[in-house]
């Protein structure tokens, strides 16, 4: 995307205002300037970058906490020094995150908006350095309105070429930050309400989708509702926490979404399926998982749903080894099988409840997980599940809920691997120390800033070195040589003990390992993870132990010149990729993809190639 030409005059104007504000600041005490500068910089660092926001089919609702600090600076310091605070904080934060041109333009937009808002405040009857309510409501309204129109006008009309559609509720909340905490609380409450409403709407949409799938076949009408009821009853009888019960119930409710791609005539067919028909049925669980993985509220259940057609002995749809099957999936396997046996089908009448339970007992240890099946049978017969389980089986079932990770506090990993943020934190301490008249705090902040900058420079140096090494490794014409060379480079840089080149099918639902170095995970488990994550917006896919045993793993998408997904370069390292390695690999994705994407008439048949395993069923 070309950088707009109209943005350059805005940058020039913003720079001029910033310089003028700095000159004005030298003639006044620095206490308030330093404190507000520290607050503005901290607020900017808390903001989500605009280019990271997912574009949604809803009206704009951009809320910036930093805007409230900018407006407070304008009121306390006046137009010029307030513009200096707004522009400098925005510029520093954005230079850390990305392009200097885009950062300079956005910072200039807020600088000019703050200056214009300051003069609007004065014209409206306000006075710098004090705010008297309700007398100053009119100048305050002028301040907020001008700031909104100028900032969003520059960002949208000049920067994005879009029609200006300001969200006045968000603007009121931003202006309200200057007055009291109540407007902030209202804005936060509105945001949470919007999130809750969005989650409910998404779940209702998925539930409607599941109903449509059930209604396509009169023999399976309300099938997913019954399966969800069985799973819910079992989980409650086992005494699971309500959150775990809900996750398992929703996994059961949505487990057949992928059948939307299966023709209804195939679902109702009496005779044996043709290979093509069987292929569509075989793909359905993966389609379900692929769909659920796209939603954060159902992502944790995707793996459980994908494996609901597996068997305890590893001879299910995708041949997943027993140790790689999530225990939560066996809740769906037993409940789904029980409902299928007790329901009438075109080719047979349904079994009685007791006949179906007897069939479950007969297949314990082969098709069904022993502990889950025994507990399910006990509950259906009106018994307490723990009365029929051994202590070992009881402990195993306690961990049967859908896997989830407790995410680290926001920024915790960034502070460890983002020395630039450490440097900015030190700068905030410097400003705070100057503003409060605490020289020791300012000196300590200066030391932290210097250390952060040194480490940041070292990380960039290592990243550039690795990027050059990666570029050299993918320069060969032979894909096998490229794979071997790239593997060696990353083994040295990250300590990786296993790498693989995975080719990908056009349907996006299967793949196979073409080349590998070292002993890695089972191909079926690896492919299942890649199916779930293939459509992720992440540039590098990361798998933890809950996703893929033996992790962490990192997968680099391999794309052809037309951006079509051709496969993945996967590596396993002792720990998550360090920042310098991630930066180098992200910058090299295009080169790696073009070098490793299969070209016409270049089939791999070398010694390192591995034969794909056939599906079990």
Q: What is the pLDDT of residues 429-480, one digit of tens each?
A: 888 888 777 888 888 888 888 988 898 888 889 999 999 999 999 998 889 9
Which has the minimum average pLDDT: 108-112, 186-190, 252-256, 424-428?
186-190
pLDDT at residue number 49: 56
The three-class DSSP label of residue 312 is coil
Q: What percent of the chain has pLDDT over 90?
A: 22
Whether the predicted pLDDT of 230 surpasses 80: yes
Check whether 160 has a pLDDT greater than 90.
no
**Residues contacting residue 425 through CB under 8 Å, at least 6 positions apart:** 415, 445, 448, 452
What average pLDDT does range 385-403 have in this prediction? 77
Query: Of residues 534 and 391, which shows the higher confidence score?
Result: 391
The fraction of the chain above a pLDDT of 70, given in percent, is: 81
Q: Give the pLDDT confidence of 23-37 residue by residue, as tens digits.
A: 888 878 777 778 877
CA distance 198 to 23: 48
The CATH code belonging to domain 7-179 is 1.10.1760
pLDDT exceeds 60 at position 2: no
What's the confidence (pLDDT) of residue 358? 94
In this structure, whether the domain defined by 474-596 belongs to CATH 3.40.640.10 is answered with: no
Q: Please say if the pLDDT value at position 302 is more than 60.
A: yes
- Matching CATH number, 214-398, of 1.10.150.390, 3.20.20.480, 1.10.3210.10, 1.10.8.50: 1.10.3210.10
Q: Are 358 and 368 in contact (CB under 8 A)?
A: no
What sign has the CA pseudo-torsion 103, 37, 456, 17?
A: positive
Residue 373 or residue 292, greater confidence = 373
Ordered DSSP codes for 560-592? -TT--EEEEEEEE-SSSPPHHHHHHHHHTHHHH
Q: If we measure between CA atoms, which residue out of 508, 509, 511 comes closest to residue 500? A: 511
Q: What is the structure's pLDDT at 606?
A: 44
- Give me the half-sphere count of Cα atoms (radius 13 Å) on the Cβ side of residue 404: 15
Is residue 525 predicted with pLDDT exceeding 70?
Answer: yes
Is 150 within 8 Å of 128 (Cβ atoms)? no
Q: Say if pTM beats, i.e. exceeds, 0.85.
A: no
pLDDT at 56: 41
Q: pLDDT digit string (tens) for 314-371? A: 999 888 888 888 899 999 999 999 999 998 877 778 899 999 999 999 999 999 999 9
In total, the chain counts a number of residues equal to 617
Q: Is the pLDDT of residue 52 over 60?
A: no
CA–CA dist 460, 483 (Å, integer): 25
Q: Which residues pair with 572 in a beta bridge?
A: 498, 553
pLDDT for 612 equals 38
* pLDDT at res. 216: 75
Pick the more confident residue, 244 or 215: 244
């Amino acid at each position: 995307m070309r950088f707009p030409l109209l943005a350059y005059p805005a940058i020039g104007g913003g720079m001029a205002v910033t310089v003028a504000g700095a000159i004005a600041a030298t003639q006044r005490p620095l206490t308030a300037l330093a404190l507000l500068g520290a607050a503005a910089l901290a607020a900017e660092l808390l903001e989500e970058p605009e280019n990271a926001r997912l574009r949604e089919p809803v009206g704009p609702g951009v809320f910036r906490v930093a805007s409230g600090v900018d407006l407070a600076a304008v009121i306390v310091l006046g137009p010029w020094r307030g513009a200096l605070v707004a522009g400098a904080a925005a510029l520093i934060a954005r230079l850390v995150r990305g392009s200097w041109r885009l950062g300079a333009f956005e910072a200039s937009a807020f600088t000019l908006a703050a200056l214009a808002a300051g003069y609007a405040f004065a014209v409206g009857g306000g006075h710098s350095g004090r705010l008297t309510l309700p007398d100053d409501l009119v100048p305050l309204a002028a301040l907020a309105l001008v700031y909104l129109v100028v900032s969003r006008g520059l960002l949208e009309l000049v920067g994005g070429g879009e029609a200006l559609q300001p969200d006045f509720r968000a603007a009121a909340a931003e202006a309200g930050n200057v007055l009291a905490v109540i407007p902030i609380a209202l804005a936060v409450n509105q945001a949470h309400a919007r999130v809750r409403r969005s989650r409910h709407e998404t779940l209702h949409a998925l539930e409607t989708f599941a109903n449509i799938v059930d209604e396509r076949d009169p023999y399976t009408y309300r099938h997913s509702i019954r399966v969800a009821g069985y799973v819910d009853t079992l989980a409650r009888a086992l005494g699971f926490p309500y959150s775990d019960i809900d996750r398992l119930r929703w996994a059961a409710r949505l487990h057949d979404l992928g059948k939307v791609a299966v023709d209804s005539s195939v679902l109702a067919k009496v005779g044996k399926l043709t290979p093509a028909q069987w292929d569509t049925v075989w793909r359905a669980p993966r389609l379900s998982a692929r769909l659920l993985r796209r939603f954060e509220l159902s992502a944790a259940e995707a793996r459980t749903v994908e494996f609901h057609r597996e068997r305890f002995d590893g001879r299910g749809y995708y041949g997943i080894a027993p140790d790689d099957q999530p225990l939560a999936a066996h809740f769906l396997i037993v409940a789904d099988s029980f409902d299928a046996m007790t329901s009438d089908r075109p080719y047979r009448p349904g079994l009685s409840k007791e006949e179906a339970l007897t069939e479950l007992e007969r297949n314990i240890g082969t098709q069904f997980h022993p502990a889950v099946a025994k507990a399910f049978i006990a509950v259906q017969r009106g018994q307490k599940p723990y009365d029929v389980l051994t202590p070992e089986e009881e402990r195993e079932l306690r961990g049967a809920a859908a896997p989830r990770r407790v995410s680290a506090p926001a920024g915790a990993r960034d502070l460890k691997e983002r020395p630039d943020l450490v440097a900015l934190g030190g700068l905030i301490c410097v400003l705070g120390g100057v503003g409060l008249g605490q020289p020791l705090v300012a000196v300590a902040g200066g030391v932290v800033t210097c250390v952060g900058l040194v480490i940041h420079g070292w990380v960039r140096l290592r990243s550039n070195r690795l990027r050059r090494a990666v570029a050299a490794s993918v320069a060969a014409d032979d894909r096998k040589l490229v794979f071997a060379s790239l593997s060696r480079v990353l083994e040295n840089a990250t300590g990786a003990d296993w790498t693989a080149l995975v080719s990908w099918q056009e349907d996006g639902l299967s793949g196979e390992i073409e080349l590998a170095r070292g002993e890695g995970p089972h191909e079926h488990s690896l492919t299942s993870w890649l199916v779930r994550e293939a459509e992720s917006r992440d540039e590098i896919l990361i798998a933890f132990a809950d996703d893929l045993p033996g992790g962490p793993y990192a997968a680099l998408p391999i794309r052809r010149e037309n951006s079509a997904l051709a496969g993945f370069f996967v590596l396993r390292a002792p720990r998550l990729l360090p920042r310098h390695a991630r930066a180098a690999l992200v910058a090299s994705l295009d080169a790696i993809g073009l070098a490793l994407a299969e070209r016409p008439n270049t089939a791999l048949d070398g010694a390192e190639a591995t034969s794909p395993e056939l599906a079990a069923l």
